[in-house]
Structure 1
Amino acid sequence: MKIRSHHYGLLVLALLFSIVGFAQQTTLTGRVVDTNNEALPGATVFIKAKQTGTVTDEKGEFSLNAEIGDILEFSFTGFTTHQETVGTATTLNIVLAAASTYLEEMVVVGYGTARKKDLTGSVATVSANNFQKGQISTPEQLIAGKVAGVQITPGSGAPGSGSRIRIRGGSSLNASNSPLIVIDGVPVDNGGISGVANPLALLNANDIESFNILKDASAAAIYGSRAANGVILITTKSGSAGQFKVNFSSLNSVGIKTGSVDVLNGDEFRSVVNGYTGTIASSADRLLVGTANTNWQEEIYRGAFTTDNNISFSGGIKRLPYRLSVGYLNQNGILLRDNLQRTSVALNLSPNFLDNHLSVKVNSKYAQTNSFFANQGAVGAAVYFDPTQPIYSGEQPFGGYFEWLNGAQPNFNAARNPLGLLYQREDKGNSDRLIGNVQLDYKLHFLPELRANLNLGMDQSWGSGTVFVPAEAASQANRGGTNNQYKQTRSNKLLEFYLNYAKEFDAIQSRLDFIAGYSWQDWKTESPSFPDLRADGTEFEPAGIDFATQNTLVSFYGRLNYTAWDRYLLTFTLRRDGSSRFSPDARWGNFPSAALAWRISNEAFLKGSKVISDLKLRLGWGTIGQQDGIADYGYQANYFYGDAAAQYQFGNEFVTVVRPQGYDANLQWEKTETQNLGLDLGLFDSKLNFSADFFIKNTRDLLAVVPVAAGTNFTNNLLTNVGSIRNQGLELALNTKVINSAKFSLDLGVNATFILQNEITKLQLISDPNFLGADVGGTGFNFVQKHSVGYRPSTFFLYKTVYDEQGNPIEGLYKDLDGSGNLGETDKRWYKNPEPNAYFGFTLSGTYDKLSFGCVMRSNVGNYMYNAVKAGSGIYQNIFPNQGYLSNAHRDILNTRFDNRQTWADYYLEDASFLRMDNLYFGYDLGAVGKSGMTARLNASVQNVFVVTKYSGLDPEIAGGIDNAIYPRPRVFALGVNLEF
């Protein structure tokens, strides 16, 4: 068949129209949902070839222009990515399946993120969905009991009181044992701030998205000299573009006292005083007993109301995701007058520029805290004060409070009236803290596998306060009261830059991820000196000199991650730190680490298994360092002004002297070498996940305070590098979905940590067989613990008590263990330890229809407590000091009948193992409220629910293991509401 010439023209024209038709843009609309047909607002719709796209709205719907043949990529955090080729259809309905949270979860690590399945080190993650619920005023409480190897010991019951955090136990004696804390990429200043009890109290727990804990050296060595105690990375919440949300929460709670120190009541006290027939009391002592029945511990405590309110706005303006939050906390302590008020503001911005090649993160957190510090001396005074005396004397002196007198003046050997201590002291502090950083991450246009990251950060705080005690107060009648002020400024500046090269090599099924960087961080603290004034403003002592200190850390670091065939993983890290805290000859330290991992589940013989969804073996080694706890100028000679007691007299004038301070010019890094063997196992599509880690930590060049020969230094005890510690342990963690249906779900988490060895292996430069160890663990009377070779740090060092036939301790009689016939130091023995041999965490959470519930429990096993309250007050010597006053006694005096103090008796050492329910909560989802688009949720919780223990004291969980009349932790009942628009 022939084609005529004019038909050629028609054919060409048709082809042109076809080409134009294929190249024409089409408007696509659609909806992105999950497998339950629930909308996924904020899901990303991305045209791969053009590097452009959009996000879904609150209904999961989207609209964009694309061309036929374009490849669209649909993604949403926590869900698998889906790709779709644009065809003739103009409406798309996309269903995204939930990703396996165990395998696909992105984990924040030092300087970047990594897939959980690619980790070679020991890293644990706790996200906001798994935080402890209820009244949380300090961030570390969110993860208590949640992570194996992480022990969080609560502080006192004071508002904002922080916790002691230990990761895999302590590795140091005199340096810090606390982990490094990094907030949004800024290693923060954990030092105390004037005007606030706990620096972390300035961070609003409601703004936190996740905690990532780096436990072993292969994970933490990227932080070098500050990682010996592990690293906690805190990430705060951010917004999602196109998803505007308003969230308001209000939580109101009441805290109540859970118990009292077991002392005699008024009638019992009168009976003991009048019935005593020993030689300590005199007839004059019996005349001092009163007629009142005052329960001092009831008088100084109260039910404490707290309100915590937060509002946040999140979303995105075009390509500018943001989150702005404002919070207000007003927390009363159960001790009268104790109060903390905190106003916090946080702003996170995360825009992208240059076709998504440049990402910018701006994080800023500001908090202003105003505190009224109740006089905690009232806690001990309420234990010791005579219960037969009234609160008020009916007399004008000393504000009308009853006080023990010596003539017309207070008896300064006696305890002060607890109510007088509380109401005659105005201790007000305020602080401001700003933590912020700007992080620029640029993916090079000509080499997209290479990224350059610049991080500029700061942690600035200002603290100040005033203390006023009236002249009439008995506590300061000898000096005419107090009218003082204090102030402190702390500055922490950060500059970091690193290059990151990451590339997939499909031909050899490998992935390379390399990072190299530089870090500069500088800390500065300044405190002006003020004169010590009386209540009327006259000078009691002149001002000293202003205080200022500074230290700088400069670092170079690199990390290599290599993955082959998605089965074999290698990590190598090296950091070189230089610190101004050491002399130029010892300033630099190298901190390397290496780790291997084998993803056995990806081998051919396991791939596709319906039972084993993940199986990984990890092996890591590394050396990490320590410089915290060392003075900024401890390697060089320093001179300080002496106090008023050390003035030198010239005629009638007294001159303040300048005195030298002891120093060690050879101070160097304390280094901890660690090994870690780990196993990760996921079963049944990761519905059950198990991990086990065995670790060994050896600390050398231990920073310890040891005696030095007289005349060789300007001190008798010197901080120097001496000795070593060995630490071994086993961590186990199990998380499982017990029930997982549409209407009912139940999750269980259990973790256990066993300290198999924690032993000081060396403590002297020159071995001395007669050296028993360094005294630690002061009780207010004597030391009851020692650092000794062959034992755990702070092991109790006591006499072995002898008991009579009825099982009662015999006063002053102890076993002569050395057989010398004389009682001495060599008759004491090392008994137990304040730290547990094992600790456990139990977490239960679930949902039933619209109801949610859960609890967190913790347990310590093998920890012992020295009951210093019982030892100090459970004796007749305490009741009858023969100094013109009487003191109350612990009820144990009815058992022992001790006349005198028996400080070193192991009788006072008690098993303080415990099981504590930290948290119990319930929530109910009300759903949509009317037609406003607002959803509501109600919640109720109880904290410090119960404690099961053999310990006879107030609380079996006291850091350090010495119970010396602590501020008790309250039981807190809370009700709250969450509204979302």
Structure 2
Amino acid sequence: MRKSLWYSVLTILCTLSSIFAYAQDKLITGRVTDASDEALPGVSISVKNKKTATISDAKGEYKIKASIGDILVISSVGYVKVEKSFSAVTTLNISLVADNTSLEEVVVVGYGTSRKKDLTGSVTSITSKDFQTGAITTPEQLISGKVPGVSIISNSGQPGAGSTIRIRGGSSLSASNNPLIVIDGVPLEGEGGIAGASNPLSFINPNDIETFTVLKDASAAAIYGTRASNGVIIITTKKGKSGALRINFSSVNSLSTVAKQVSVLSADQFRTIVNEKGTAAQKALLGTANTNWQDVIYQTAHMTDNNLSIGGEVAKLPYRISLGFQTQSGVLKTDKLQRTSVALSLNPTFFNNHLKVDLSLKGSLQKSRFANLGAIGAAVSFDPTQPVYATVNPQRFGGYFEWLDRNSPTGLMNLAGRNPLGMLEQRFDEGTPQRSIGNIQFDYKFHFLPELRANLNLGYDVSKGEGTVYVSDSSAIGYVVGGKGGTNNIYKQTKQNTLLEFYLNYVKDLRFLKSRVDVMAGYSYNNYLTTNYNYASYTASGEKYPNTDPAFPFDKPENTLISFFGRANYSVNNRYFLTATLRRDGSSRFAPANRWGLFPSIALAWDLKEEGIFAKNETLSTLKLRASYGVTGQQDGIGNYDYYSYYALSAPNAAYQFGNSYYQGYRPGGFYANRKWEETASTNLAIDYGFWDGRVKGSVDFYVKKTKDLLNNIPQPAGANFSAYIVANVGSMENRGVEFSVSTQIIRKRELTWNLDFNATYNENKITNLTVVPGDQNYVGFPSGGIAGGIGGQFAFINSVGYSRNTFYLYKQVYDANGKPLEGVFVDQNGDGVINQDDLYRGKSSVPKVFFGLSSSLNYKRWNLGVVMRSSVGNYVYNNNYSQSGVQNQILGNNVLYNASTNYLTTGFKGNSQQLLSDYYIQNASFVRMDNANLSYDLGKIMKNSNVNLRLNASVQNVFVITKYTGLDPEVASGIDSNLYPRPRTFSLGLNFDF
């Protein structure tokens, strides 16, 4: 009995002890890693249905208290959420698997974000993991060849040079064809950079960029109204994140070489021609040297790009600070760019996450020396038999060889080319452009109505460009009688863009039909103010040139844009989606009667994958139909005050003389009061597809863009205006095209993956009207594309109804039986026996019809091999080097000897001015280019008991080009190849520390 009692008591005590032990919290420790066993910092670990939570540290380690039976929830953006039931163990290691769908779930759009599955417009987002690598100097290079419908052509190989960016072809003729670029909510001014730096994007450190989002159709872009006719590129920079301290350091060092030179006669070929066909006086001019002047002016260039970023959280304040320093010399001697950039991001939250504040500040200071680009053409044409340095009177003109004339007051031969190296080394064009872009956004989720948010965005974009141009008074390019010449001038310009935007956003999931409402309405104020400073001209010694004083020290052109906008998204049952936007813009660039424009859009989407017939199909992972229509506007490319008669300060070379003094006056400019918005209406039909759980996915888009009321530069009748040409609304144009993209994961194994992405774009451009009265058969069109080498204005293109813009308008060349062109002999198109402008015909266009992009990424264990290739088909280029210098007169038709293109050996042309307009010089410039090849190795942790990870990489840029084009480079944005700054081939080695 007593034993039984004690046994019962003991049993009760053990049970109570077990219950107490079960209820008591225990400390659980562990480590969170990814599929490659790499530590994952910043992962959220919480106890389900309790307030207990923590975050993994830089080593992926965590500590949390929980009771037996509790469920731990482990989650992180970009990874599949894991729930683990806690038993008696005290150590719990967790491996997270990447969630490809969540990585793409939210996409940045105009004024906010959107779930990707809710998108109805044509939007492409590229994240940092897919950027091009290597020696990247300007941000747009990161996505070249990555986005269907987007063509990015670097304007030259000069450090910091910009690119010509076209989204679904150009929508305008005389106005801008550049897309609107928005950085962290701040739109950049649409018309170029500042004095001393022509590329506005060169101020943004590519290492600070997180994503590019490209809005291509009107449904996606119409929320930006007047500035969206050519598409929108939204750049989002990296932000502060909660969690432990994270430090990243990267360094890239590279060498660049000229991949190809312009083909000109060698010194021996040159001597042979002069000795055979030159006069005695010309033969006497021949030298004894063998100089390749392109070798003289070009060099192997070096670049180093170093970046440090620090991110983490201090007192619950997420932050990120980055510092970048880049120095790059150009392959053209004396060309150098140095850039220091700083970025700060603070992203705190208040009131239990109801108020989010995003502060973003970016600053950049450049110190540049700009080479004299005229030296490129001089090197192509300078006599190869002359030495670089003078052997007679070497103390003059900096010691460089120059053409001399004893009878000239300066001792220099008039109208003779100058020494290419002397042009570079004796001219100092040095500038220090600066720029700062920043904004602060307050996003408040109302306490009493959490579905409603208010967003206030205050931003600015301030830049200053200033510098000096100094040319020694002993330099041949600035020499005057008496030695009091040269140049010592300063320049300065400032630009200021201020921004205020406010919008309300209401998002609500409704039980009715499982629908979702997302409504937004807002207001925007943009002011653009430019200050141009005017200075007198000075000699190298600082003596002011007579009559160069400006009438006023500066002028301040200004324009303002005020907008009201709204957007509504409505979805039903996660299957049917509707988006409608409306924007009303008012610009000070138009007269009051035409100041306001209205830009609507509507889009529909149907997610067929959610329908019963497809829902259970395991092969099909995505099937979505999209359709949209919208109108966008255009105002870039017109003056701030051209809508009324005004007076502007005349140029210094148009001053009036009174006695011994010269005065700048004010003179009237051309005006057009009836100018209004150029408008582009876009229609888009598309299908998004995916198979095998997203291993193959992509989209096909069909689009039509019709632009009316073209801002067109048209001639004025004599005496009708104060300008020979004005920009008026005359004409229409359209672009039709197809975009195709596919992303595939060909191999997906634990230690081996291979991703292959491909995109293709077909775009056909056609001008549909160019006259006030449509269908005027007497109007041929207006010319464009000036040709160098002729007397007077000669043009390669004509813009005509029924043809693409930049269509070549030339004579059709006649050839002999052996296929050799006959100089000055052309097809008589109208059969009147006379060759004149009536025999010019419309031929090919410089605008490509098809372009492709291919990206490949092969990962094996810690190795990665990446390749990016691009191709363009159907674009043609006028070889102006052939036409200008491939003739005998180039060598023997001047007061000194000039080198010629090797094309002279093929044609034997003497030099007929009419020959410049021959279609012989039009060449097929289709090409396949490997932009980038990159090999990297991830060493992982490089020291015991540390979290320092190291990654090494090597890359080559501009690896090769396959083309039939015989000139320097087939990729010429203007369509006329004349002394292009060569794009270099760049070899880079880099490392990346992450800890």
After TM superposition, the score normalised by the length of structure 1 is 0.94
Aligned AA (1:525)? T
Partner of 1:623: 631
Alignment partner of 1:537 is 2:528: no
Partner of 2:342: 345
Provide closer, same or farther for how the CA distance between residues 82 and 288 of structure 1 changes in structure 2, counting only shifts above 3 A: same
Alignment partner of 1:310 is 2:311: no
Question: Which ranges of structure 1 fall in alignment gaps of 5 or more residues?
Answer: 1-16
Alignment map for 1:364-379 (pairs within 5 Å): 364-379=361-376
How far apart are residue 648 of structure 1 and its match?
Answer: 3.4
Contact 2:250-2:992 within 8 A present in 1 as well: yes
1:482-526 CA-to-partner distances (Å, cap 9, x unmatched) read: 000011111111111111111111342111111111111111111
From 479, 487, 501, the counterpart of 1:482? 487
* Distance of 1:50 and 1:626 partners within structure 2: 55
Alignment map for 1:95-134 (pairs within 5 Å): 96-101=96-101, 104-134=104-134
Contact 1:52-1:355 within 8 A present in 2 as well: no
How far apart are residue 252 of structure 1 and its match?
Answer: 0.5
Partner of 2:989: 975
Alignment partner of 1:832 is 2:844: yes
* Distance of 1:492 and 1:45 partners within structure 2: 44
Alignment partner of 1:287 is 2:284: yes
1:817-867 CA-to-partner distances (Å, cap 9, x unmatched) read: 011211122211111111111000011111111111111000000100100
How far apart are residue 86 of structure 1 and its match?
Answer: 8.9
Alignment partner of 1:938 is 2:971: no
| 1:475 alignment partner, SS class | coil
Partner of 1:763: 770
* Distance of 1:962 and 1:669 partners within structure 2: 30
Alignment map for 1:264-275 (pairs within 5 Å): 264-275=265-276
How far apart are residue 155 of structure 1 and its match?
Answer: 1.7
Partner of 1:202: 203
* Distance of 1:587 and 1:499 partners within structure 2: 26
1:184-236 CA-to-partner distances (Å, cap 9, x unmatched) read: 11112352211224221111111111111011000111111111111111111
| 1:832 alignment partner, SS class | strand
Provide closer, same or farther for how the CA distance between residues 770 and 287 of structure 1 changes in structure 2, counting only shifts above 3 A: farther
Alignment map for 1:85-96 (pairs within 5 Å): 96=96
Partner of 2:10: none
Contact 2:551-2:664 within 8 A present in 1 as well: no
Provide closer, same or farther for how the CA distance between residues 39 and 328 of structure 1 changes in structure 2, counting only shifts above 3 A: closer
% identical equivalent positions: 51
Alignment map for 1:742-761 (pairs within 5 Å): 742-755=750-763, 757-761=764-768
| 2:323 alignment partner, SS class | strand
How far apart are residue 543 of structure 1 and its match?
Answer: 2.7
Partner of 2:780: 772
How far apart are residue 101 of structure 1 and its match?
Answer: 3.1
* Distance of 1:508 and 1:85 partners within structure 2: 35
* Distance of 1:91 and 1:439 partners within structure 2: 42
* Distance of 2:804 and 2:596 partners within structure 1: 30
Aligned AA (2:344)? L
Partner of 2:530: 525
Partner of 2:436: 434
Provide closer, same or farther for how the CA distance between residues 498 and 92 of structure 1 changes in structure 2, counting only shifts above 3 A: farther
* Distance of 2:991 and 2:59 partners within structure 1: 24
How far apart are residue 402 of structure 1 and its match?
Answer: 1.6
From 770, 781, 785, the counterpart of 2:797? 785
* Distance of 1:404 and 1:500 partners within structure 2: 71
1:860-918 CA-to-partner distances (Å, cap 9, x unmatched) read: 00100100011000111111224x21111101111111111411000000000000000
1:676-709 CA-to-partner distances (Å, cap 9, x unmatched) read: 0011001000011121001000000100101111
* Distance of 2:595 and 2:121 partners within structure 1: 28
Contact 2:58-2:947 within 8 A present in 1 as well: no
1:369-395 CA-to-partner distances (Å, cap 9, x unmatched) read: 000111111000000111111112231
Alignment map for 1:716-727 (pairs within 5 Å): 716-727=724-735
| 2:941 alignment partner, SS class | strand
| 1:228 alignment partner, SS class | coil
1:330-365 CA-to-partner distances (Å, cap 9, x unmatched) read: 101011111000011111111111111111111111
Aligned AA (1:927)? G
| 1:605 alignment partner, SS class | helix
Aligned AA (1:161)? A
Alignment partner of 1:803 is 2:803: no
Partner of 1:13: none
Partner of 1:220: 221
RMSD, aligned CA:
2.4
From 458, 461, 471, the counterpart of 2:460? 458
Contact 1:315-1:323 within 8 A present in 2 as well: yes
Provide closer, same or farther for how the CA distance between residues 665 and 951 of structure 1 changes in structure 2, counting only shifts above 3 A: same
Contact 1:174-1:629 within 8 A present in 2 as well: yes
Which 10-residue stretch deviates more, 51-60 or 780-789?
Answer: 51-60
Contact 2:730-2:770 within 8 A present in 1 as well: yes
From 471, 491, 496, the counterpart of 2:496? 491
How far apart are residue 32 of structure 1 and its match?
Answer: 4.5
* Distance of 1:637 and 1:68 partners within structure 2: 83
Provide closer, same or farther for how the CA distance between residues 503 and 346 of structure 1 changes in structure 2, counting only shifts above 3 A: same
Alignment partner of 1:398 is 2:392: no
* Distance of 1:412 and 1:316 partners within structure 2: 68
After TM superposition, the score normalised by the length of structure 2 is 0.93
Provide closer, same or farther for how the CA distance between residues 89 and 521 of structure 1 changes in structure 2, counting only shifts above 3 A: farther
Contact 1:361-1:438 within 8 A present in 2 as well: yes
How far apart are residue 102 of structure 1 and its match?
Answer: 7.6
* Distance of 2:906 and 2:643 partners within structure 1: 53
How far apart are residue 26 of structure 1 and its match?
Answer: 7.8
1:314-334 CA-to-partner distances (Å, cap 9, x unmatched) read: 112242221111111010101
How far apart are residue 84 of structure 1 and its match?
Answer: 7.1
* Distance of 1:196 and 1:656 partners within structure 2: 28
From 904, 907, 911, the counterpart of 2:920? 907
Aligned AA (2:785)? G
Provide closer, same or farther for how the CA distance between residues 316 and 712 of structure 1 changes in structure 2, counting only shifts above 3 A: same
Partner of 2:148: 148
Contact 2:52-2:65 within 8 A present in 1 as well: no
Alignment map for 1:529-928 (pairs within 5 Å): 529-540=534-545, 541-545=548-552, 546-755=554-763, 757-766=764-773, 768-780=776-788, 781=790, 782-882=794-894, 884-900=895-911, 901=913, 902-928=915-941
Provide closer, same or farther for how the CA distance between residues 416 and 587 of structure 1 changes in structure 2, counting only shifts above 3 A: same
1:751-807 CA-to-partner distances (Å, cap 9, x unmatched) read: 00011x211111111354332111100122321111111111111100000111111
Aligned AA (1:401)? Y
Alignment map for 1:231-250 (pairs within 5 Å): 231-250=232-251
Provide closer, same or farther for how the CA distance between residues 639 and 25 of structure 1 changes in structure 2, counting only shifts above 3 A: farther
Contact 1:100-1:685 within 8 A present in 2 as well: no
How far apart are residue 100 of structure 1 and its match?
Answer: 3.2
| 1:299 alignment partner, SS class | helix
How far apart are residue 40 of structure 1 and its match?
Answer: 3.0
* Distance of 1:354 and 1:720 partners within structure 2: 54
| 1:967 alignment partner, SS class | coil
Provide closer, same or farther for how the CA distance between residues 411 and 640 of structure 1 changes in structure 2, counting only shifts above 3 A: farther
Contact 1:103-1:117 within 8 A present in 2 as well: no
1:562-608 CA-to-partner distances (Å, cap 9, x unmatched) read: 11111101100111111111111111111111100000001111113
Provide closer, same or farther for how the CA distance between residues 54 and 536 of structure 1 changes in structure 2, counting only shifts above 3 A: same
| 2:550 alignment partner, SS class | coil
* Distance of 1:572 and 1:303 partners within structure 2: 54
Aligned AA (2:508)? K
How far apart are residue 48 of structure 1 and its match?
Answer: 8.2
Provide closer, same or farther for how the CA distance between residues 611 and 290 of structure 1 changes in structure 2, counting only shifts above 3 A: same
How far apart are residue 57 of structure 1 and its match?
Answer: 1.8
Contact 2:437-2:460 within 8 A present in 1 as well: yes
Provide closer, same or farther for how the CA distance between residues 503 and 911 of structure 1 changes in structure 2, counting only shifts above 3 A: same
| 1:206 alignment partner, SS class | helix
* Distance of 2:131 and 2:949 partners within structure 1: 22
Q: How many positions carry a matched residue from both structures? A: 960
* Distance of 1:694 and 1:397 partners within structure 2: 65
Aligned AA (1:530)? Y
How far apart are residue 27 of structure 1 and its match?
Answer: 6.6
